[in-house]
Amino acid sequence: MKKGPVTISEEELDRQQGFAQQVRQFYMARLDRQHLALTDTYGCQQNEADTELLRGMLVDMGFGFTDDPEKADLILLNTCAIREHAEQRVFGNVGALTHVKRRHPGLVVAMCGCMAQQSHVRDKVKKSFPVVDLLFGTHVLYKFPELLWQRLSGDKRVFDISGDEEGVIVEGVTPNRDRQVKAWLPIMYGCNNFCTYCIVPYVRGRERSRRPEAVRAELEELVRQGYKDITLLGQNVNSYGRGCDFDCDFADLLRMLSQVPGDFVLRFMTSHPKDASEKLFATMAECDKVAKHLHLPFQSGSSRVLKAMNRSYDREQYLAQVALARRYMPSLSLTSDVIVGFPNETEEEFQQTISLVEQVEFDNLFTFIYSRREGTVAARIEDHTPMEEKKRRFEQLLQVQNQISNRRNAACVGQTMRVLVDGLGDDPEYPLTARTQGQKLVRLKGDPALVGRFVEAKIEKHTTWALFGAVQAQ
């Protein structure tokens, strides 16, 4: 039976607003200045979007923001568990806060996000990181005001990684965004895929989709505020609407959102190859506001490794999806993720990855060496491939992709492209930064007043990682 997403009730949000006011009054009674928060985000775009919601809650609690830990009354670390390196960075930075807190005893240190949702991380923080006052997981993000008030009003540290693994959706909280041109727009949360290397379904819960009318309303508000580059977010956007009581899949949502008035570009991530469809590619091709860019992770060029990863497609099926997408969009910009060194990947299987990369010719790749994650199926596999060999393969893959990226960028020289100027860089000759529809970085000559505008740019030269050009007369 289809069901709608579980949305936090207005009554619960009102209850959290009550706690927010108590936090505000707590600081107003003790400080002769505005209380300040520092937020530090690790990991993916979804974490960045979550931080924007948490910042919105902090505004409701009367906080301003600072980048200086010495001035902060609260430091909030939104953490990532996708790779071991990210966890090590978090623990290193948390440990460093011990000295800050010694100088400022009233400082509250809070940890949330995907790392925090894991019980072994909670236990480690309890035992080894007394500097952390508050820890809460992804399922209770909406309870941040209540949990902070518990810490401020009591003398005990607060830890909460409870919540339903089915997950919830929070509407009615206004994000606090700190960018002017680009915006994240979450459309769904969670994942049902259970790739054997991935911790996300365990820390983010099951797939649940926001109602299309809620997504459209937020997009309309973003456009009204002047945002021009808007990215729809989900662990697997292609699954949008699945199992829900409304009749709207991801392609339908894209078409509906592209009809919102205004001059903006719609992007999305991430797509799972098993759920990408001809309907999606046709919709992308037909809707002018949808970027002709597809991020389609393949992870490995070996069908055996893909099966071991539980990716639910093989090499041939992936290549067929790419061919279909390019049939509808010949100028499609294609990027992907790939993992090197999955347990017991052979040299022959790695070379199959190399051959797929050479055959597809991605515009860019996001490449990773396999990182063991406690609690996943792959973590139980005994791996006989030395790390030195994995690093060698990683470097070979980078070399191959860099040559392809350089060649594809070279083909853009001499072209005039419509780009969105999204900021200022550090190159005095090319002071503007911009993005093509295909998500290529462009450095431009031009007036800083053009930030936030679409312009025509003539591409003059290139490197492996960027295009360089000049703004044409408007």
Three-state SS letters, 170-212: CCCCCCCCCCCCEEEEECEECCCCCCCCCCHHHHHCCCEECCH
For residues 399 and 423, membership in a common domain is answered with: no
pLDDT value at position 4? 54
Listed range (42-46, 319-323, 377-381, 434-438) with the worst mean pLDDT: 42-46
Mean pLDDT to the nearest integer, 2-8: 66
Q: Examine residue 1 and state whether it is found in any structural domain, yes or no.
A: no
For 322-451, where are the E strands, in sequence order? 333-340, 364-369, 416-424, 432-436, 441-445
Contact 85, 46 (CB under 8 A): no
For residues 361 and 223, membership in a common domain is answered with: no
For residues 330 and 452, membership in a common domain is answered with: no
Q: Examine residue 359 and state whether it is found in any structural domain, yes or no.
A: yes
CA distance 357 to 338: 10
For residues 450 and 315, membership in a common domain is answered with: no
For residues 156 and 16, membership in a common domain is answered with: yes
**Residue 199: domain span:** 179-272
For residues 298 and 267, membership in a common domain is answered with: no
For residues 137 and 70, membership in a common domain is answered with: yes
Q: Which amino acid is at 98?
A: T
- Quick: pLDDT tens for 164-184: 767 788 898 999 998 889 999
Quick one: how far is CA 12 from the chain centroid?
A: 27
Contact 333, 293 (CB under 8 A): yes
Q: Examine residue 327 and state whether it is found in any structural domain, yes or no.
A: yes
For residues 14 and 156, membership in a common domain is answered with: yes
Mean pLDDT to the nearest integer, 361-376: 94
Q: Examine residue 278 and state whether it is found in any structural domain, yes or no.
A: no
Give the helix ranges, DSSP H, for 336-386: 347-360
Residue 326: both structure tokens together: 């390019």
Contact 469, 458 (CB under 8 A): yes
Q: What are phi and psi of 210, to 5 degrees?
A: -70, 150
Residue at a domain's end among 394, 411, 428: 411
For residues 26 and 136, membership in a common domain is answered with: yes
pTM for this model (two decimals)? 0.94
For residues 15 and 153, membership in a common domain is answered with: yes
- CATH code for the domain in which residue 455 is found: 2.40.50.140
Q: Examine residue 200 and state whether it is found in any structural domain, yes or no.
A: yes
What mean pLDDT is reported for the chain?
94
Q: Pairing relation of β-strands 416-424 and 454-462? A: antiparallel
pLDDT value at position 3? 53
Return the half-sphere exposure (C-beta side, CA atoms, 13 A cut-off) of residue 123.
3
- CATH code for the domain in which residue 27 is found: 3.40.50.12160
- Quick: pLDDT tens for 41-98: 998 899 999 999 999 999 999 999 999 999 999 999 999 988 888 888 999 999 999 9
For residues 147 and 24, membership in a common domain is answered with: yes
Q: Examine residue 385 and state whether it is found in any structural domain, yes or no.
A: yes
Q: Examine residue 31 and state whether it is found in any structural domain, yes or no.
A: yes
- CATH code for the domain in which residue 318 is found: 3.30.750.200
Q: Examine residue 429 and state whether it is found in any structural domain, yes or no.
A: yes
User: Looking at the 3D structure of the chain, how many domains does it have?
Assistant: 4
- Quick: pLDDT tens for 307-326: 999 999 999 999 999 999 99
Q: Is 443 helix (H, G, I), strand (E, B) or coil?
A: strand
**pLDDT value at 120 more than 60:** yes
Tell me whether residue 359 is exposed, middle or buried, using C-beta atoms within 10 angstroms of its C-beta: 0 to 12, 13 to 18, 19 or more: exposed
Mean pLDDT to the nearest integer, 409-428: 95
For residues 326 and 380, membership in a common domain is answered with: yes
